[in-house]
Every structure is written in structure tokens, then in C-alpha cells.
Amino acid sequence: CHHGSCHGEKTFSSAAMYEHHFETNHRHICQTCKKAFPGEKWLILHIREIHDVLVRIQRERGERIYQCYVDGCDKLCMTPQKRRMHLIDKHHYPKHFNFSIVVTG
């Protein structure tokens, strides 16, 4: 792979493996901080929660800004921890899920 942080160091035994790697690591990149996300949904949440100035002001005011990860669920939480508990309790997410994916990519 000759994209981004791979520096040509990764090789793949099939086109399908390369396509999966590309989709996971290079398709959805934040233009502000260059972090990669496994899907457009995660990139959009990242930009909103991390880089959006208006959302930052809302967070500082104590408003509910942390959206549920489940499509169709309109729940907004005040903290990432409350979102995590909502996802575990209401949507049966596993406790070991990478809940910080919006921040870390």
C-alpha cells in the first residue's frame, strides 16, 4: 500500500484484502487532523464532536451533543460516558466495543 501512513510497507495477498484495507484505513479521512475512520458515519460524528466550533460551544454550555451511534435513534447525551451506557443498556452494545472511535479513529 502506498497511501498515507503505510509508506509502502503493507502488502496484500489478494485484491479483496487490499480493498478492505483501503476502505478501513484510507477512504474516510478527517481533513483537519488526518485521522482515518472505518466509515462515513464515524467521520461525520468525529468532525461534529471534535472540530465543530458551534458544537464545542454547546458542549461547554452543558448541552446534549453526543449522538447515539445507532441509525434511527435520536438520543443525545451530555457525556461520552452516558452515550456508552445508553448504547450498552438500550442497544446491547458489547462493553468491550471501541466507544472512543469518534475521537481516535
Q: What percent of the chain has pLDDT over 70?
A: 93
End-to-end CA distance of the chain: 19
pLDDT tens-digit series, residues 72-98:
999 999 999 999 999 999 999 999 999
The pLDDT of 17-29, averaged and rounded, is: 79
44's grid cell: 461525520
**Position 5 confidence tier, pLDDT thresholds 50, 70, 90:** low
Beta-carbon contacts of 37 under 8 Å, excluding residues fewer than 6 positions away, are 28, 29, 30, 43, 46, 101, 105
Q: Please, are residues 64 and 49 in contact by the beta-carbon 8 Å criterion?
A: no
Interatomic CA distance for residues 22 and 9, integer angstroms? 14
What global pTM score does this model have?
A: 0.76
Task: Tell me the residue type at 7.
Answer: H
104's grid cell: 481516535
72 or 36, which is more confident? 72
